[in-house]
Structure 1
Amino acid sequence: MLLRVRVTLPDRPGTLGQVARTLGVAGADIVQVTVLERFGGRAVDDFTVVWPGAARVERLLAGLGAIPGVRVDGIWQAIGTPNTGGQDAELLAQIAANPSEGIAILVDAVPALMAADWAAAATVPTDWAARRGVGGDGATIVASSWRTPTPCRLPEVTPLRARALTGPDANRCAVAPFGRAGLVLLASRADADKLVPAEFHATEVDRLAQLVRAAAVILGDRLDLVAAPAVTATS
Structure 2
Amino acid sequence: MLLRLRVSLPDRPGVLGQVARAFGVMGADILQVTVLERQAGRAVDDFTVSWSGVFEPGELRERIGVVPGTRVEAVWPTREVPGATPDYDLLGHVAADPDRAYVTLVDAVPDLVSAEWAVAVDSADGTIVHGSWQAPETVPAADLTPLRASAFEEGGLHLVSVPMDGVHLVVARSQGPAFHRAELDKIARLVGIVSVLAGGVSRTI
**Shared fold per TM-score greater than 0.5:** yes
Following superposition, the deviation at residue 54 of structure 1 comes to 4.7
> Which of 169, 172, 187 is matched with 1:188 structurally?
172
1:63 equivalent in structure 2: 63
Unaligned runs of 5+ in 2: none
Superposition RMSD in Å: 2.1
Query: Which residue type is aligned with residue 116 of structure 1?
Result: A
More strand by share: 2
Unaligned runs of 5+ in 1: 126-137, 192-196, 228-235
Given that 2:27 and 2:53 are in contact with CA atoms closer than 8 Å, whether structure 1 keeps it comes out as no
Query: Which residue type is aligned with residue 25 of structure 1?
Result: V
2:81 equivalent in structure 1: 81
Partner secondary structure for residue 175 of structure 1? strand
In the alignment, the residues of structure 1 paired with residue 34 and residue 143 of structure 2 have an alpha-carbon distance, to the nearest angstrom, of 30
How many matched pairs? 205
Following superposition, the deviation at residue 199 of structure 1 comes to 1.1
Give TM-score scaled by structure 1 length: 0.79
2:9 equivalent in structure 1: 9
- Tell me which moved more, 150-159 or 114-123: 150-159
In the alignment, the residues of structure 2 paired with residue 158 and residue 67 of structure 1 have an alpha-carbon distance, to the nearest angstrom, of 41
TM-superposition CA deviations, 1:47-88 (whole Å, max 9, x none):
00112275212221211221221111211110123578x643
Give TM-score scaled by structure 2 length: 0.90
Partner secondary structure for residue 106 of structure 2? helix
In the alignment, the residues of structure 2 paired with residue 121 and residue 220 of structure 1 have an alpha-carbon distance, to the nearest angstrom, of 19
TM-superposition CA deviations, 1:147-199 (whole Å, max 9, x none):
1123333642243211211122x111112111x32x111111113xxxxx111
In the alignment, the residues of structure 1 paired with residue 106 and residue 145 of structure 2 have an alpha-carbon distance, to the nearest angstrom, of 20
1:119 aligns with 2:103: no
2:96 equivalent in structure 1: 97
